Chain A
Amino acid sequence: MNKLVQNEMMKLIAKKRLIVIAIIISILVAMFTYAQYKEVERQREKLGTDDWRTMIQQTIIDQQNRISSSRISDEWKKQLQIALQQNQYYLDHDINPSEPGAPTFMRIFLENSIELFIPLMVMVIASDIVSSEHSQGSIKLLLTRPVKRWKVLLSKYISLTFAISLIVAIAGILSYGISGLVFGYQGWGAPVLTGFSVNDAGLNTASVKLIDQWQFLLMDFGLVWFVAIVVGTLSFMLSVLIRSTAAGMGVMLAALISGAILSNMVSSWESAKYFFMVNLKLTNYMNGNPPPIEGMTLSFSMLVLLVWWAIGLFVSFFVFTKKDVY
């Protein structure tokens, strides 16, 4: 088994996909860093100060004005209300929600890439891990060895898990390293609030906790990793089911993008919450953003993802051990 995993790892590294992913991430991070820098610059110019309190105060006022406008939907109004209450809470307790520095950038980057960007990167590796063996014809060589089929697949799955862990780590390291050039590397110990919850009345601050940024980041990383594993497993399943890598990727891509769109409009279609793709934004539960459908909680989302993960894994192994290879 150990040898098999080693073999799979060798294939992964030889393909140089991880390097491609690292390049993509670094280009994107550089772009985001620049955009963020510009944004801060513009705000400073507009308000004539770089005091974060003034900036938040202005954001609050803007939000209040948007809420008071009669042209926005109730749904949107409620979301704004929650964001506003949260900002006010930060201001009242004199805690800067976005302490300048690379760790804060990393946090924001992770929170924004959890539902689409990281899954896409994972897909690059996961979607052809089995199907490429078909297209290259090497599957026959692999399966004629005196090793059980499930062991072959398991070794592939384990190496995928390792690769996913690496991708998440690469995303973290690169976003820290690159944004730090501009924003500085400080801020690991900055206070962050977590434990906001959303109920009918709006934002509930009864169970708010104050933790250090590095703790928050580690939790975020854990959630990102979990999401990446689930998406990776589903791509893995498709890779087993569909021989064409492109078709498998297309299906997964469609699912992921539909998730991003659905999250914005499913609030009235309640059973949509059982789709895996509307449950991907797990970090929202940590920072108190309202979930796309009312009543969703962290355990609910994780359970849904876990069920999809189990199905994906089961189908992969079932099909792979049974199907005819020719």
Chain B
Amino acid sequence: MNKNVIRSVTMVSVFFCLLWLVGLGWAVAEYYAGKPDKIPEKTVIEKKAEKKEGMHIVALGDSLTRGTGDETGKGYVGVLMDEIKEKSKQEVRLTNLGISGQVSDQLKEQIQQTEVKRQIQTADMVLVTMGGNDLFRGGQGLLEFNPEDITEIEKNFLENMNFIFQQIRTSNPNANVFCIGLYNPFIDLDDGKELSKVVRHWNYQSAELSATFPKIVFVPTFDLFELKVNDYLYTDKFHPNTKGYRLIAERVASLLTW
């Protein structure tokens, strides 16, 4: 064994040994004594995200946007996207920002995020499902069915939606926005009829609100689920199943123009 090899390996080891010691010392010092930096938050969108070939869809909303209940996992957004791809023969890029259980208060927060704004800015089409969790609160709303409460909730919801639509329009004045209406998953239950009335009123108000903005289209789904609701609902009796999502997607698809 060459002595020089051993010596040089030893030297290299000693060097690294010292280097790592320095690193260790620095890590401890930085962890305890380092001064926090003021890091500026980015609120302005300096650069518009580059516009790519094809179509960009942004989906906002709750579990319906997510596709909860669909065994294929697509949801109405996925089905709709497939359909557009097939018909328009162009690339479609989807940004799904839906969050299960989201209520309009949360969407209002979400839509003000810089990155979300930037996504909407480049969108050719925006899909929104909102309100289901506001109104039904996961089925809880059914038990304590109280007209006064509902008026209150509805008012809050409409205010939020007004804000959300304004935000979308400010970020992107050109994209078509489709606001998907509510259906009544509890229509077959005892209180179903009364709840239907609430849902219809809710939808009517949403449609009125949508109409005050250019290119925001309210898409009714109430009638789709009116007869044989259970055929189109998932086993949780709240979310649509694969067939139900297909119905919604087809309805939106029929509104599209090229």
Interface residues of A (CB under 8 A from B): 5-6, 9-10, 13-14, 47-49, 51, 53-54, 56-58, 61, 64-65, 68-69, 91-95, 161-163, 165-166, 168-169, 193-195, 206-211, 215, 218-226, 285-286, 298-299, 302
Contacts and interface: CB of A to CB of B under 8 A. Distances in A.
A48 B91 contact: yes
B177 to A, nearest CB: 19
Interface in B1-38: 1, 5-7, 9-10, 12-14, 16-17, 19-28, 30-32, 34-37
What 10 A-B pairs are tightest by C-beta distance, nearest first?
A: A222-B23, A222-B24, A162-B13, A225-B20, A219-B27, A48-B93, A165-B17, A94-B42, A218-B23, A165-B16
A68 B93 contact: no
> Which label, helix, strand, loop or mixed, suits the secondary structure of the B interface?
helix
Nearest to B18: A165
B27 to A, nearest CB: 4
6 contacts: A57-B97, A68-B101, A166-B9, A208-B36, A222-B26, A298-B28
B39 to A, nearest CB: 5
- For B6, B96, B118, the residue with the greatest tally of chain A CB atoms inside 10 Å of its CB is B6
- For B13, B49, B93, B100, the residue with the greatest tally of chain A CB atoms inside 10 Å of its CB is B13
Contact of B27 (A6, A210, A223): A223
Nearest to B24: A222
A57 B28 contact: no
B181 to A, nearest CB: 23
Contacts of A6: 6-7, 10
B95 A54 contact: yes
A215 B52 CA distance: 37
Interface residues of B, number: 53
Contacts of B96: 58, 61
A14 B1 contact: yes
A5 B93 CA distance: 63
Given A48-B91, A53-B115, A65-B98, 7 more contacts: A49-B93, A54-B49, A54-B115, A61-B97, A65-B66, A162-B13, A225-B24
A133 to B, nearest CB: 18
Contacts of B7: 6
B119 interface: yes
B114 interface: yes
A107 B119 CA distance: 30
A74 B95 CA distance: 29
Contacts of A69: 100
A35 to B, nearest CB: 24
Contacts of B144: none
Nearest to A227: B24
- For A54, A57, A219, the residue with the greatest tally of chain B CB atoms inside 10 Å of its CB is A219
Contacts of A91: 113-115
B9 to A, nearest CB: 6
Contacts of A68: 99-102
B20 A222 contact: yes
B116 A57 contact: yes
B37 A163 contact: no
Contacts of A51: 49
B40 interface: yes
Interface of B: 1, 5-7, 9-10, 12-14, 16-17, 19-28, 30-32, 34-37, 39-42, 49, 52, 54, 66, 91, 93-102, 113-116, 118-119
> Which label, helix, strand, loop or mixed, suits the secondary structure of the A interface?
helix
A158 to B, nearest CB: 10
Given A65-B66, A223-B27, A13 B6 contact: yes
Nearest to B20: A225
Nearest to A197: B31
A13 B9 contact: yes
Contacts of B23: 218-223, 225
A210 B114 CA distance: 21
A222 B21 contact: yes
A251 B216 CA distance: 67
B118 to A, nearest CB: 7
Nearest to A63: B99
Contact of B30 (A209, A221, A224, A226): A209
B5 A13 contact: yes
B16 A222 contact: no
A225 B13 CA distance: 12
B95 A47 contact: yes
A166 B9 CA distance: 9
A92 B42 contact: yes
A168 B91 contact: no
Contacts of A94: 42
A10 B97 contact: no
Given A218-B23, A226-B24, A162 B6 contact: no
- For A6, A95, A169, A206, the residue with the greatest tally of chain B CB atoms inside 10 Å of its CB is A169
Nearest to A210: B37
B39 A208 contact: yes
A165 B1 CA distance: 22
Nearest to A172: B16
A58 B59 CA distance: 12
Nearest to B101: A68
Given A162-B14, A166-B13, A223 B24 contact: yes
